[in-house]
Amino acid sequence: MATLATSTGGSIRQELTSLFGASISSTFPDAGVQPSVAQTNDPKFGDYQCNNAMALFAKCKGKEGAPKNPRAVAEAIVAGLPASDLVESTTLAGPGFINVRLSRAWLGRHVGDMLVSGIGSWAPRGQARKRVVVDFSSPNVAKEMHVGHLRSTILGDCLCRTLEYCGADVLRLNHIGDWGTQFGMLIQYIADKRPGGLSAAEDEDVADLQVLYRAAKARFDADEGFKAAAREAVTQLQGGRPEYLEVWRRICAASRAEFQRIYDRLGVELQERGESFYNPRLQATVDALVEQGVAVESDGARCVFFEGRDVPLIVQKRDGGFGYASTDMAALHQRLTEERADWIVYLTDAGQAGHFEMIFAAGRRAGYFPKDREVRIDHVGFGLVMGEDGKKFKSRSGDTVRLVELLDEAKARCRTTIKERRPDISEEELEEATSAMGYGAVKYADLKNNRLTNYRFSYNEMLSMQGDTAVYLLYAHARIAAILRKSGKDVAELAKSTKITLGNDLEVALALHVSRFSEAVEEMLTDLYPNRLTSYLYDLSGVFNQYYTECQVIGTEEEDSRLLLCEATAVVMRQCFHLLGITPLYRI
C-alpha cells in the first residue's frame, strides 16, 4: 500500500482520525462506527490512542466470522492502517486500545514547515467561509461600563478572534441598550430639572448621565405622575418627536464615545447595532408570530407558551409596548434572513440562559431557521466576577466597580513592578509594557476560568510572576525572545535551510506540544470554552521551561535546530496571545 503523506494544515488528531477511519471503513465496512482518536494520558505508552475496538466488537458480536475479542478487532484495525509517514509505530494495550507513536522525523518537518509557511497553515478550517454573528459586550446607554461587562466583552472578543483565525466571516455585534423606558425617564427629568430644559443643547457627559439616571430612576419609582410622564415621553420618542430624538442622540453619542475609549484600551472591535435598530421591525414581528399561531393573546398581552415552563415569552405587553423578547425575536429573524448567518453566538450572563432557550425555540416554531442550510446557535453563558471576599465585586463605596477604574489599577500596579526591574526603561516603552501587561493580566484572569463559574478577582493573583497568569507567560515569551536575540541569527532565514532534528525526548515533547496547537483551537470552538486555550498555553510554557533547563541551545552542535524549536514555541505563544487579545512583549 502506498504511503500517505500527511498535510501541514489541520491537526495531528484529524490526520490520525482519517487514517483510522480508512482502516475501519475497509476492515468493518458495515459497522457504521466513527473513528475515535485521543491524546494518550501517559506519554510513555504513546502519543495518541484509538479507542474503537470494544465498540466494534460489540457491533460485530454474533455475526459470522466476527473477531473473537476486542483485541482481535484492534489487530485487524492496525493491519488495515494505510502506511503513513506520520506514524512511527503502533502497540496494543489492555483489551483493545491502539497506541500510536508519531515519527520524530515527521514532527520535525511539521514544525519546520509551520515556520516557513506561517502559523496560519495550522488553522483548523472547519469554520472557513461560514458567516458567524457574535453578539457580545452590550452595555446600556447612559450608564458607564462596569465590571459586569468585562466577561462578555473579553470572552466575545476571544471567540471572534479564534473564529476569524479559522477562516470564518465574523460579524461582531454590540447589541447596546439604546431604546426603552430609561430614555423616557432621562428625557423627562432633563426637561423638568435642567435650566432651559430640552432646548438647552449641550454635549452630554456619561458620568453626568449616571447621576441623572439614578435621580430619574429614584423619581420614577417614587412619583406616579413622573412615571406617567416618562412613559409618555418614551411613546413620543418612539413616535419621532424631533426634540426628544435630538436629546436621545446626544445621550447615545456621549455613551458611545465612553464605550469606545474602553474598547480601544482592550483592543476590541465591534459594530454597534443597538435595540433601536430593530424598533421599526417589532410590530411586524409580533403580528407575524400571532398570525402563525406561535404567539397568542393572554391577559391582554401577546405571549409564546412552552410546555414545562410556568412563565411565557411575552413578545408584546398589554399596553402595546415591547420588551427584550420582542427585540430579540426581531434580531434573530434579521440575523438568519438578512445576514444569512450559519452560526449565531450570544454572550450574556448564565442567568439569561432560559430566556434565550425560549427565543431559539420560538424562532424554530416560527420557521426562522432556513431549510437549505444547517445553522448552529449558542447561548454562551458565564458566571459573576466576585471580590476577594467571595461576594459580588464592589468598590469601597459599595458601588459596582467601573471598568475604567479596574483597568487603570491593573496598569498602575504593573508600572511599579516593571519600573523596579528596569529603572532605565524609557517612558514610551514603559507605557507600552504596562498596557500590555496590565490589560493582558485582566483578560487572562477571566479567560483561564471555566466561563460558567463565578471567579474571584484578585490583583495580587493576576499580576503574579509565578503560576498561571498572563504576567508569567509574557515573561516566558520575553525569555525566548532574549535567547533568539543572543544567538544573533536570523531565524526566518535559518528556517528555510535548516531541518529541525529531534534528538532527545525533551525535544520531542516540545515539538509535539507545539504541534498540538491546532487541537487546542478545535477543542475551544467545539464547546466555546476559552480556558481550553489558556490551559494549552500555560502547559506549553511549562514544557518549554523544562526543555530549556535541560537542553542547552546556544553554543552546541544542535544550536540551529534548537533555535528553530525555540522560535516555533514563540510563534505559537504569540498566536495564542493574539487569540486571547493579549499583546506579546519581547523585552521586560
* Residue 581 near residue 542 (C-beta atoms within 8 A): no
| pLDDT at res. 240 | 87
| pLDDT at res. 461 | 93
Vertex 171 angle, CA 165 and 176, to 5°: 130
* Residue 46 near residue 101 (C-beta atoms within 8 A): yes
| pLDDT at res. 210 | 80
Cβ density class 14-53: b for 16+ within 10 Å, e for less: bbbbbbbebbbeebbeebebebebeebeeeeebbbbbbbb
Instruction: Report the interhelical angle of 242-266 vs 224-238 (nearest 10°).
Output: 90
- Residue ranges per structural domain of the chain: 12-102, 180-266
Report the SS3 class of residue 170: strand
| pLDDT at res. 395 | 66
| pLDDT at res. 486 | 97
| pLDDT at res. 8 | 41
* Residue 74 near residue 118 (C-beta atoms within 8 A): no
Cα dihedral across residues 331, 333, 334, 339: positive or negative = positive
pTM as predicted: 0.93
E-strand ranges in 318-399 read 343-349, 376-382, 385-386
Cβ density class 526-555: b for 16+ within 10 Å, e for less: eebbbbbbbbbbbebbebbeebbeebebee
Q: What is the grid cell recorded at 2?
A: 502506498
Residues of the chain where predicted confidence (pLDDT) is lower than 50: 1-8
Instruction: Report the interhelical angle of 531-550 vs 517-527 (nearest 10°).
Output: 160
What CA–CA distance (Å, rounded) separates 247 from 235? 15
Residue 294 burial by CB count (10 A; 0-12/13-18/19+): exposed, middle or buried?
buried
376 forms bridges with which residues in the sheet? Answer: 343
| pLDDT at res. 201 | 52
CATH code of the region 12-102 = 3.30.1360.70
